[in-house]
Amino acid sequence: MDVRDNFRRSVLELAPYAVSGHPAKIKLNQNESPFDVPEALKKEIIDEFIRKNWNRYPEVFSVELPKRLSEIHGLPSDSFIVANGSNELIYTVAISIVREGTEVLIPQPTFYFFEKISRILGGEIRKVYADGDLNFDEKGILATGRKMKNGLIIIGSPNNPTGKSVSREFIVELLKSTGAIVLLDEAYIEFSDKPSSVDLVGSNRNLVILRTFSKAFSLAGLRMGYLVAHPETAFEILKVKIPFTVNPLSEFTALKLLEHRALFADRVKLLKEQRAFMTSRLRVMEGVRVIDSDANFFLFSTPLPAGRIFEELLERQSVLVRDVSSYPLLERYLRVNAGTEEESAYFIRSMLECLERLAV
Ligand code: PMP
């Protein structure tokens, strides 16, 4: 008996998740916020949380956070589904829609997680590749989307790892012209100068938007993400969601952080300044190409193999970035996120030394 005979073929064919567990002094590889939740606020949250019952189950599906999000976004609270990170919602949405043979359009290159769950479920993946500057091929996506009577289209905007966004006119046009559900992942929208598409869900039942507290709200460690859709669409997706995945401490913390939106907006501003500093300094280095980004990270390439730069930065400088050279179109590219002022300056010094040593 081979135990593997029991598994879906799509699971057996899957590569294991690569964990990037290198210890480093400067960590710029996971698009996190370099700023933690302030200690005084952490203490206030824990002090209040101690007084709650820990022996009782929370609500099956969160109630308080959707209510608050509903006030903030000006949409009904049944437009929101809260989850243990937006990754959970990518799975939940995909499970609700994708079965053997379902068409799933995923513009490339992008966050691999989209393709992974679609493959596990037996989806037929359709890929539309970015142009030479890594901008979305909006015409190509529209042409493929128009042919889809149903299925799923997954777009990150701003996109990981390119940092590129789709235009609002494109989203409006796509929603009108396709029969598929459009899953728009806005994990990095706070760092973009372009507006969110959340206001479009009221009039577009085929739009599902993902947001997260992991990036702009400094909360990657506590896991909190949410989905925004028309109530009729959210109703179907909620049937699939695993009950009780939202930790009450995480939900309570998210509610508290929403009372401090000005603080997080200041941090976003500072990170955008660091992004500008890092990109402008890299751009003047011999042979370095930098891709403009709407997110808290960006791509850059050098004439050397990305793996060489990755290793030099890590081993000599203890700076951890992400080698994305195995993604389609991204040979020689690395991704780095904006850090604190000190971290960003240290990264730039490290890059100068690294390129000098490798005699580019
Ligand atoms: N979507 C994108 C595009 C991401 O890059 C990430 C995190 N790397 C996620 C979703 C997952 O975020 P969360 O921490 O909310 O699960």
Angstrom CA distances, 244 to 51, 59, 84, 180, stand at 20, 7, 9, 29
CA nearest neighbour of 300 among 355, 341, 226, 342: 355
Find the domain containing 331 and state its range. Answer: 3-37+262-357
CATH of the domain at 237: 3.40.640.10
Distance 296 CA to ligand 1 centre (A): 13
- Residue 16 pLDDT: 86
- Residue 18 pLDDT: 73
DSSP string covering 105-174: E--BS--HHHHHHHHHTT-EEE--B--TT----HHHHHHHHHT-SSSEEEEESSPTTT-----HHHHHHH
Distance 156 CA to ligand 1 centre (A): 10
pTM greater than 0.75 (yes/no): yes
Ligand 1 proximity of 187 Cβ (cutoff 6 Å):
yes
CA nearest neighbour of 174 among 128, 225, 133: 128
CATH of the domain at 345: 3.90.1150.10
Q: Which of 32, 65, 86 is the pocket-test mutation for ligand 1 (most atoms within 8 Å of CB)?
A: 86
CA distance 350 to 327: 24
Q: Are 221 and 212 in contact (CB under 8 A)?
A: no
* pLDDT for residue 327 is more than 60: yes
pLDDT single digits (tens) 204-261: 999 999 999 999 999 999 999 999 999 999 999 999 999 999 999 999 999 999 999 9
- Residue 214 pLDDT: 98
Considering the domain architecture, whether residues 268 and 255 belong to the same structural domain is answered as no
Q: Does residue 42 fall inside a structural domain?
A: no
Q: CB neighbours of 78 closer than 8 A, spacing ≥ 6?
A: 66, 231, 234, 235
Distance 219 CA to ligand 1 centre (A): 12
Considering the domain architecture, whether residues 205 and 310 belong to the same structural domain is answered as no
- Residue 21 pLDDT: 75
- Residue 336 pLDDT: 98
Q: Which of 12-16, 19-23, 36-40, 134-138 has the lowest mean pLDDT?
A: 19-23
- Residue 75 pLDDT: 98
Ligand 1 proximity of 159 Cβ (cutoff 6 Å):
no
Over range 108-135, report the average pLDDT.
97
Which of ligand 1's atoms lies nearest the C-alpha of 88? 16
- Residue 62 pLDDT: 94
Considering the domain architecture, whether residues 67 and 205 belong to the same structural domain is answered as yes
pLDDT single digits (tens) 160-176: 999 999 999 999 999 99
- Residue 360 pLDDT: 57
- Residue 71 pLDDT: 98
pLDDT band at 19 (very low <50, low <70, confident <90, very high): low
Ligand 1 proximity of 114 Cβ (cutoff 6 Å):
no
Q: Report the number of distinct structural domains present in the chain.
A: 2
Distance 225 CA to ligand 1 centre (A): 9
Ligand 1 proximity of 161 Cβ (cutoff 6 Å):
no
Considering the domain architecture, whether residues 331 and 283 belong to the same structural domain is answered as yes
- Of the candidates 260, 289, 312, which is a domain's last residue? 260
Q: Which of 13-22, 79-88, 254-263 has the lowest mean pLDDT?
A: 13-22
Beta bridge pairs of residue 298: 336
Compute the mean pLDDT over every residue in the chain, rounded to the nearest whole number.
97
Q: 86 burial class (0-12, 13-18, 19+ CB within 10 angstroms)?
A: buried
CA distance 7 to 24: 37
Identify the DSSP state of 185. E
- Residue at token pair 């702009």: 216
Q: Does residue 43 fall inside a structural domain?
A: no
CA distance 117 to 80: 22
Ligand 1 proximity of 85 Cβ (cutoff 6 Å):
yes
Sign of CA dihedral 139, 142, 146, 152: positive
* pLDDT for residue 20 is more than 70: no
- Of the candidates 228, 244, 260, which is a domain's last residue? 260
